[in-house]
């Protein structure tokens, strides 16, 4: 078997094992949440018999390990269960499948993350390469100061500052990103401008600084010195000699930030009332909708693990020395 294929299979097996342990942690954490969904829905005036019957209807009367096995078995088959929201003590069942609730919200989150990635990744690479190219210049110091400032600010603070200046004082973009499935593409882009700009400002700093550091670290290598002695321009030396060998750390930090775009958008979605999966999870926690919370958490974990595995695989492919560790 080819070494690359072997490494990929090992990473995939490790990822599945990690996802299994994460699923156990998610289930146990939700089990330990205070409060009871049935009591919250039925109210304090509900009798013990009514609460017991409602718990039996939802399957909450079964032992935790049985419910975990049933949940994991359904997830493997693509069934995340039925949402508790819409259940009523009157016996009228208005609940929906969790997949039907999550699918449009996940599409919205992926759209926002995709727009941010299209802007942030090329911008970060360009800033990192040019900062390394003109190391120590006024441009380099300005870029570093700006990125350090944005990286030190929490997402919600950046979001509120942008809302204040670009949504209130100078109303260029809407402060609420209320989109729907019927929203046209360009209108959706316009309404998502502030959330995308917030996420871009937050993640560009990490990718830019890693790109700059990786390239500067390689500029002292003997083969770079040889390229310079041959009379090659600084731009050609960086783009065609330093950058290909710096891909491993750069790809890792890009993957980490792309994972953050999916996993860490909860705060941004709440601030801008964006109908994404992060907002859905917050609402589900508020209403104690256990199946939705479990599904959202598992999707976040799977996305993070998958992107980290992808970063490892790309790093190994771009740097064959990692195939033969000492």
Gap between the Cα atoms of 278 and 264, Å rounded: 8
pLDDT above 70 covers a percentage of the chain that reads 91
In this prediction, residues 269-275 reach a mean pLDDT of: 90
Which pLDDT does position 86 carry in this prediction? 61
Per the structure block, which two tokens stand in for 310? 């992808």
* Chain-centroid distance, C-alpha 162: 21
In this prediction, residues 231-260 reach a mean pLDDT of: 78
Cβ atoms 143, 208 nearer than 8 A = yes
pLDDT above 90 covers a percentage of the chain that reads 12
In this prediction, residues 111-130 reach a mean pLDDT of: 90
Give the torsion through C-alpha atoms of 258, 259, 261, 264, to 10 deg.
-150
Cβ atoms 231, 258 nearer than 8 A = no
Residues 255 and 314 in one domain: no
Q: Which of 35 and 100 is assigned the larger pLDDT? A: 100
Residues 173 and 214 in one domain: yes
Q: Which of 46 and 177 is assigned the larger pLDDT? A: 177
Residues 4 and 130 in one domain: no
The pTM of the full predicted model, rounded to 2 decimals, is 0.83
Phi, then psi, of 93 in degrees rounded to 5: -105, 110
Q: State the residue range of the domain holding 195.
A: 104-286
Query: 194-232: b or e for each residue (b if 16 or more CB lie within 10 Å)?
Result: bbbbbbbbbbbbbbbbbbbbbbbebbeeeebeebeeeee
Is residue 82 helix, strand or coil? strand
Report pLDDT digits (tens) over 161-205.
999 999 888 888 988 888 888 889 899 999 999 999 999 988 888
Residues 205 and 66 in one domain: no
Which pLDDT does position 138 carry in this prediction? 92
Residues 40 and 111 in one domain: no
What are the angstrom distances between the C-alpha of 137 and each of 143, 149, 207? Answer: 10, 18, 20
Which pLDDT does position 219 carry in this prediction? 76
Residues 80 and 114 in one domain: no
Q: Which of 216 and 20 is assigned the larger pLDDT? A: 20
Q: Which of 37 and 16 is assigned the larger pLDDT? A: 16
Report pLDDT digits (tens) over 53-112.
877 877 777 888 888 898 888 888 888 888 877 655 444 455 678 888 898 998 999 999
In this prediction, residues 300-324 reach a mean pLDDT of: 76
Q: Which of 132 and 241 is assigned the larger pLDDT? A: 132
Per the structure block, which two tokens stand in for 253? 């930090």
Gap between the Cα atoms of 137 and 130, Å rounded: 10
Neighbours of 28 (CB within 10 A): 11
Residues 252 and 324 in one domain: no
Phi, then psi, of 82 in degrees rounded to 5: -115, 135
Which pLDDT does position 190 carry in this prediction? 92
Q: Which of 68 and 324 is assigned the larger pLDDT? A: 68
Number of folded domains that form the chain: 2
Residues 277 and 225 in one domain: yes
Residues 162 and 309 in one domain: no
In this prediction, residues 4-33 reach a mean pLDDT of: 85
In terms of residues, how long is the chain? Answer: 326
Which pLDDT does position 89 carry in this prediction? 45
Residues 214 and 240 in one domain: yes
Which pLDDT does position 49 carry in this prediction? 80
Bridge partners for 281 per DSSP: none
Residues 281 and 294 in one domain: no
Nearest to 180 by CA among 116, 108, 109: 108
Report pLDDT digits (tens) over 206-215.
888 888 888 8
Which pLDDT does position 290 carry in this prediction? 83
> Dihedral of CA 123/212/143/252: which sign?
positive
On the question of pLDDT at 299 being above 60, the answer is: yes
Nearest to 203 by CA among 90, 274, 304, 119: 119
Which pLDDT does position 286 carry in this prediction? 80
Residues 180 and 59 in one domain: no
Gap between the Cα atoms of 196 and 19, Å rounded: 29
Q: What is the mean pLDDT of the chain?
A: 82
Q: What is the CATH number of the domain that holds 280?
A: 1.10.3720.10
On the question of pLDDT at 307 being above 60, the answer is: yes
In this prediction, residues 11-26 reach a mean pLDDT of: 89
């Amino acid at each position: 078997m080819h070494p690359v294929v072997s490494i990929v299979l090992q990473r995939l097996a490790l990822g599945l094992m990690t996802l299994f342990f994460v699923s156990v942690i998610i289930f146990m954490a939700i089990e330990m949440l205070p409060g009871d969904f049935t009591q919250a829905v039925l109210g304090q005036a509900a009798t013990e018999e009514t609460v017991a019957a409602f718990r039996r209807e939802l399957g909450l009367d079964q032992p935790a390990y049985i419910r975990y096995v049933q949940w994991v078995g359904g997830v493997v088959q693509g069934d995340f269960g039925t949402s508790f929201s819409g259940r009523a003590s009157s016996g009228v069942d208005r609940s929906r499948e969790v997949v039907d609730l999550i699918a449009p919200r996940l599409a919205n989150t992926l759209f926002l993350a995709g727009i941010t990635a299209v802007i942030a990744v090329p911008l970060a690479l360009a800033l990192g390469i040019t900062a390394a190219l003109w190391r120590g210049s006024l441009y380099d110091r300005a870029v570093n100061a700006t990125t350090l400032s944005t990286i030190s600010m929490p997402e919600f603070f950046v979001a509120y500052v942008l809302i204040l200046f670009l949504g209130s004082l100078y109303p260029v973009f809407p402060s609420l990103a209320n989109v729907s499935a019927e929203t046209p593409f360009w209108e959706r882009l316009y309404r998502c401008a502030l959330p995308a700009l917030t996420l871009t400002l937050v993640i560009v700093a990490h990718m830019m600084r890693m790109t700059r550091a990786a390239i500067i670290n390689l500029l002292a290598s003997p083969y770079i010195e040889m390229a310079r002695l041959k009379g090659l321009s600084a731009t050609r030396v960086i783009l065609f000699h330093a950058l290909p060998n710096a891909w491993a750390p750069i790809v890792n930090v890009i993957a980490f930030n792309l994972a953050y775009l999916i996993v860490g958008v909860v705060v941004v979605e709440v601030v801008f009332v964006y109908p994404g999966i992060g907002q859905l999870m917050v609402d589900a926690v508020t209403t104690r909708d256990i199946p939705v919370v479990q599904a959202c958490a598992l999707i976040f974990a799977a996305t993070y693990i998958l992107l980290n595995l992808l970063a490892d695989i790309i790093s190994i492919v771009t740097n064959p020395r990692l195939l033969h560790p000492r």
